[in-house]
Amino acid sequence: MTTLTLTPGAVSLTDLERIFREDCAVRLDASCRPAIEEAHARIAAAAAGDAAVYGVNTGFGKLASVKIAAEDTATLQRNLILSHCCGVGPAIPRAHARLMMALKLLSLGRGASGVRLEVIDLLEAMLAKGVTPVIPAQGSVGASGDLAPLSHMAAVMMGEAEAEFGGEVMTGGAALAVAGLTPIELGPKEGLALINGTQFSTAFGLAGLFGAWAGAQSALVTSALTTDAIMGSTAPLQPEIHSLRGHRGQIEAGVAMRALLEGSVIRESHREGDTRVQDPYCIRCQPQVVGAAMDVLRQAATTLEIEANAATDNPLVLVGADLIVSGGNFHAEPVGFAADMIALAIAEIGAIAQRRIALIVDPVLSHDLPPFLTPNPGLNSGYMIAEVTTAALMSENKHLANPCVTDSTPTSANQEDHVSMAAHGARRLGQMITNLERILGVELLCATQGVEFRDPLPTSLPLQQVMAKLRAAVPPLGDDRYAAPDIEAASALITSGEIAKCSGVNMPELSA
């Protein structure tokens, strides 16, 4: 297992995607340890003193006015974690849980949380050894932090709750023991530091971001293939059009699509004598639509990268000011906004792709392709219902794209009277991405079949490589056959990113 050494406050999206996709272990750079120790010393002093400090020697939330005796501080933290383990629903995927743990490490590593180094060491060891807490998917409203899901993580560190190790689910204590690790007794504020924060929401937001960006790249490929299949024009890809508008995403989308279609004999065959003046918007405006989605995704990426590097628990230890201060960094409003932005981008990438599918199966619009792309229409239905399936997925994504961050409700006896709903706002992105990948998978099937009907005129070399990749998994559609496996196989090529990679064309990157 690869180990990434990360500096809190300076971690990139590339690092975060590696953690998510490659099952990496994570270790904090040693340079952050003195600040962690200094903040802990301030918390230890506060715990030994008489002044009330929230979360150190007081109750929590609405019970913050209740003073806790020094001898009860360990019990206070233990009770906090166990009582907050109220998550419900299916367990989240392992990759998301590990990313959440890594994000918590980064937050604690900023040296403002007051935990001991032993807490850091245990989280690092759990990632390295493969002890993954079982985290129920539901229960967080995205303020005061992702309390319920993070409590299930913290409980495993105490030897409680459940964890996965070696492919088996067992008690947290058993998982730690098998991995050769020892549960920790939480000290003053440590339970609060572990569960106050936005790491669950941010992990799902980042996963959604990575999936959406991969979908945008694949959509550039499938749209270019559809453009050639319906003998569309490349004139709208003229670079001056896009530079005159100036949006980065649009410019980059146009560059990629020009490269994908460069050298197509199909395109050259209808430059003269084509009576069509303009293509429908789903062909002509792909750079404007997917390019805009890429710009929105980059805005969300900026927010999530900042959040991944942030200290988001409460209270925070401000060593330079010699203060321990209650604030509101646990409120996941930035993550909620980012999740809503990503959802909009996913929905729009899928919406315009679905219109291209509708176009290519329609003989009135597809420039003489057979109805539903079957060589024997009537006896065979071809891709008729595959298009209907994409319409259902597109509509589902439109509904899922409605904002979550606007849906606040008061909780905790009105102490937490405005919340972000970032957790499920980010979590829904997974289903939306799956829907998008299947829409693009169907477009890949239809566009490849359409280009093959243009034989003997070949498409461009990059798109020939894309078609060959698909045909290695799915044969051409002659007579009707059981269709579902073809859709799943094509969608898997979208999910894996192979369609964008095999074209050989440089795709726009998420990072600057």
Catalytic residues: 54
User: Cα 193 vs. chain centroid, distance in angstroms?
Assistant: 24
**Rounded distance between C-alpha atoms, residue 140 and residue 424, angstroms:** 8
**Residue 457 main-chain phi, psi, to 5 deg:** -75, 120
Helix, strand and coil in the chain, % to nearest 5: 55, 5, 35
**Rounded distance between C-alpha atoms, residue 3 and residue 65, angstroms:** 43
**Rounded distance between C-alpha atoms, residue 150 and residue 146, angstroms:** 6
Task: State the alpha helices, DSSP H only, in 323-414.
Answer: 333-360, 384-400
**Residue 138 main-chain phi, psi, to 5 deg:** -115, 150
26 beta partners: 4
27 beta partners: 5
**Residue 6 main-chain phi, psi, to 5 deg:** -115, 145
CA 188, 193, 66: angle at the middle one, nearest 5? Answer: 55
CA 283, 287, 289: angle at the middle one, nearest 5? Answer: 85
**Rounded distance between C-alpha atoms, residue 122 and residue 159, angstroms:** 12
For the chain, the maximum distance between any two Cα atoms, rounded to a whole number of angstroms, is 89
For the sheet containing 162-165, what is the strand order? 132-133, 162-165, 168-171
**Residue 251 main-chain phi, psi, to 5 deg:** -60, -45
Token output for 235: 């004139």
* Beta strand 3-6 pairing with 25-28: parallel
